[in-house]
Chain A
Amino acid sequence: MAEITIQDIIKEENLVYKKSKVMTDTTLSYCPGCGHGTAHRLIAEVIEEMGIQAETIGVSPVGCSVLMYNFLDVDFQQAAHGRAPAVATAIKRVMPEKYVFTYQGDGDLAAIGTAETIHACNRGENITIIFVNNGIYGMTGGQMAPTTLPGMPASTCPFGRDVEIMGNPLKMTELVSQLAGTYFVTRQSVHSPRNVRKAKKAIKMAFENQKLKRGVSFVEIVSNCNSGWKLNPVKANEWMEDNMFPFYPLGDIKVDGEIVSK
């Protein structure tokens, strides 16, 4: 048997995985190892597989992912801080045949945009909300966010979050699952191959649900923030498994309008 070289393997006909065509060639502005990149790619892959590139309108938030319109080759609208669900509501009502999604971080969705998020979910708008939760304000320098864990240090609470003074973290996903307007609510992560595959299925379901017109599909992605947490990417993922997942357990919370987990 002749020895096969790497040049023989790397040929167009043997390709099994490549970055989605819906992603542009622009280099992502995120720090090395940031989960935002993986989340972007999953959305791009879902849009490509469903063949809805021309019918999709995204609403980008304020935060690290503010430049998302540079990275995904679909129509985009930039919303003011926290107002993405309100903007998405308007777009979906004017163009109900389009697929409308918002992509928001925890500072955007769970802090300044809490009212918009809860009311959009309560009204049952037929939109998809992708919520990336890394427990910190990444872009502005690692300040404490509503989702920061108890005892977790941040630049505005360097000795860790003291729940006596600073309050308790907000579990937005559990909160919106209680509202009648949500149809599919799930929490996923993108740090390991297994979780990436599950997250992709969840995002695909969230987009497909828009055809049913039954309400909001809400996908939380528990992610890392290496820069904010002051850890290297691999260590940050391990820290996330040990500390974030016990507080933010992964899995489906509401499927087809029925709560499946407490």
Chain B
Amino acid sequence: MAKIRGAILVDVEGCKGCGVCVPACPQDVLDLAKEVNGKGYNYSYMKNPEACIGCANCAIVCPDGVISVYKVKVA
């Protein structure tokens, strides 16, 4: 069965660390980083990247549109 692997790319400097994407993820991939960006926000990152399925739920709830989503089929 083809497996789907996804990944997200967060614009770290644009992220405001609101955390709305964290509960939106059905696979529990996302979390807020301990580190901060240039504005002092704890930006979003993939704490569990293997589980990402590229569903784009995080990206469509992101108020600032800083998340880009990528997806591939792995044979």
Q: Measuring CB to CB, which residues of chain A are less than 8 angstroms from any residue of chain B? A: 1, 4, 6, 8-11, 14-20, 23, 27-28, 30-38, 41, 190-193, 196-197, 226, 232-234, 237
Interface residue B22 (Cβ < 8 Å from any Cβ of A)? yes
A18 vs chain B, min Cβ distance (A): 5
Taking a contact as CB atoms under 8 Å apart, the answer to whether A1 and B75 are in contact is yes
A239→B38 CA distance, assembly (Å): 30
The tally of CB-CB contacts under 8 A between chains A and B is 97
Does the CB pair A38–B62 fall under 8 Å? yes
B1-39 Cβ-contact flags toward A at 8 Å (1 or 0): 000011101000010111110111000000000000000
Contact of A9 among B6, B22, B65, B75 (CB under 8 A): B6
Closest Cβ of chain A: how far from B31's Cβ, in Å?
12
Assess the B72–A9 pair: CB atoms within 8 A. yes
Task: Give the interface size bracket for B toward A.
Answer: 35 or more
List chain B residues, Cβ under 8 A from A28. 63-64
Closest CB of chain A to B41's CB: distance in Å? 7
**Chain B residues within CB distance 8 Å of chain A:** 5-7, 9, 14, 16-20, 22-24, 41, 46, 49, 54, 56-57, 59-72, 74-75
A residues less than 8 Å from B24 (CB atoms): 192-193
A sample of 24 inter-chain contacts (CB < 8 A) reads A1-B75, A4-B74, A6-B7, A9-B72, A10-B9, A16-B56, A16-B70, A17-B56, A19-B66, A20-B65, A23-B65, A31-B16, A32-B16, A32-B18, A33-B20, A34-B63, A37-B64, A37-B65, A38-B63, A192-B24, A193-B24, A193-B57, A193-B61, A226-B18
Q: Chain B residue with minimal CB distance to A14?
A: B70
Given contacts A9-B6, A18-B59, A32-B18, 4 further A-B contacts (CB under 8 A): A10-B7, A17-B56, A18-B68, A37-B65
